[in-house]
Amino acid sequence: MNLAADIAGITFPTCIMNAAGARCVTADELETIGRSRAGAIVTKSMTREARDGNPTPRYVTFPHGSINSMGLPNLGYQSYVTLIPHLKTFKKPVIASVAGFNPDEFLEIASAIDATHPHLIEINLSCPNLEGHPQIGYDFEAAAHLLNRLRKVVTCPMGTKLPPYFDPVHHDHMAAVLERCRVDFISVINSVGNGLVIDPDTDTTVITPKGGFGGLGGAIIKPVALANVRAFSLRLQGRIPIIGVGGIETGQDIYEHLLAGASAVQIGTAFVEEGEHVFDRLEQELAAVLQKKGLQSAAEAVGRLEEL
C-alpha cells in the first residue's frame, strides 16, 4: 500500500506525521521522531527566546480529549538553527514551525531558519500577536501583511498553521488571503481555544494557566477539524495542499481527513499519549481501511467525500 504524500513538491514517505506540540521540543524528542515511522519531523513552534512555558499542570486528558495551555515551551530558534541540519540526516522531510510575538520576530526567526534549508516552514498563525489583539489568524488584514513580508524572505515552501474557523465567511476571507500571499500549504486546525474542563471530584479547573482555560485536542475536536479541512478544500480546489490536524486516533480518522481533502495528517494528542509507536499503528490501520475501500494509495482517497 502506498501511503506517500506530496506537499508543495516535497515527497513524504508516509502521509502521517507529528503535529507541532509536545514531544517535539528537545533534540532527543526530535531524534525519536526521526527514528520512528513518522513521515516527517515537525518541530515545536519556536520563538525568539527559549521558553519554559506555563506553570503545571498545563496538559490534562479527559474522556475523548485533552486540554492544554502549554505557553510555547521551546529551545529558542537559535537552537533549532543548529539542530535542523542534523535532523535532515534522518532522510525524511523536516518542517520547522515558527511562532513570533510580533511581525518582526516572525521575520527574524523565519529568515534564520530558512538559511538552514528545512524542507518546509510552517508559520503558526494560531498564536499570540500583540497584547489585546486576537490570534493573528483571526485578523485577516494582519495575517496578509505578515505573510506578504515573510514571502519575501522565505525561499523554501512556506505554509501556515491556522486556528479553527466557525463561520463560512471567515473561510472565504482566509482562503483569499492564502492564495493572494502564495502560501504553499496549510495545516488545519490548531487546538480549539478557550475550552474549560472541570474536575468533578474537586470542583476545580484541571489546568493552572489562564484560570483553567485552554486549547482542546483529541477525538472531541475531530468534527471541527474535518469541517475546516473540507471548507478549505472546497475553496482552494487543490491549488494549496492541506495537512489535516485534529481528533485523529485511528486509521479511519485519517481516512476521513483524506476524504475531506487533506493530503497528509498530523498527530497531536494520540502521539502525546502513545509515544512514537502510534505512527506504526496508524500506518497499519490506514492501510487496512484503504484496502477495504479498494484503493491502492492514500492519494486516491484525497477529496473523495460525497455529499448527500
Domain CATH code at residue 121:
3.20.20.70
Catalytic residue among 15, 24, 127, 156: 127
- Does the residue 82 lie in any domain? yes
How buried is 281 (Cβ within 10 angstroms: 0-12 exposed, 13-18 middle, 19+ buried)? middle
How buried is 55 (Cβ within 10 angstroms: 0-12 exposed, 13-18 middle, 19+ buried)? exposed
- Does the residue 212 lie in any domain? no
Q: Tell me, what's the pLDDT at 130?
A: 40
127 part of the active site: yes
Distance CA 153, CA 100 (A): 15
- Does the residue 79 lie in any domain? yes
Domain span at 124:
5-53+72-190+218-301
Q: Tell me, what's the pLDDT at 129?
A: 46
Distance CA 146, CA 158 (A): 12
Q: Tell me, what's the pLDDT at 20?
A: 97
- Does the residue 206 lie in any domain? no
Pairing of strands 65-68, 59-62: antiparallel
Extract the C-alpha cell encoding 111.
Answer: 529568515
pTM over 0.85: yes
Look at the alpha carbons of 115, 116, 117, 119 in this order and tell me if their dihedral is positive or negative.
negative
Q: Tell me, what's the pLDDT at 128?
A: 57
Averaged pLDDT, groups of 10, the chain, 308 residues long: 98 98 96 98 97 95 96 96 98 97 95 98 80 77 97 98 98 98 98 96 97 96 98 98 98 99 98 98 98 98 98
Per the structure, how many domains does the chain have? 1
Distance CA 129, CA 193 (A): 15
- Does the residue 260 lie in any domain? yes
- Does the residue 200 lie in any domain? no
Q: Tell me, what's the pLDDT at 131?
A: 41
Q: Tell me, what's the pLDDT at 22?
A: 85
CA angle 66/68/70 to nearest 5° reads: 150
> What Rg value do the Cα atoms of the chain yield, rounded?
18
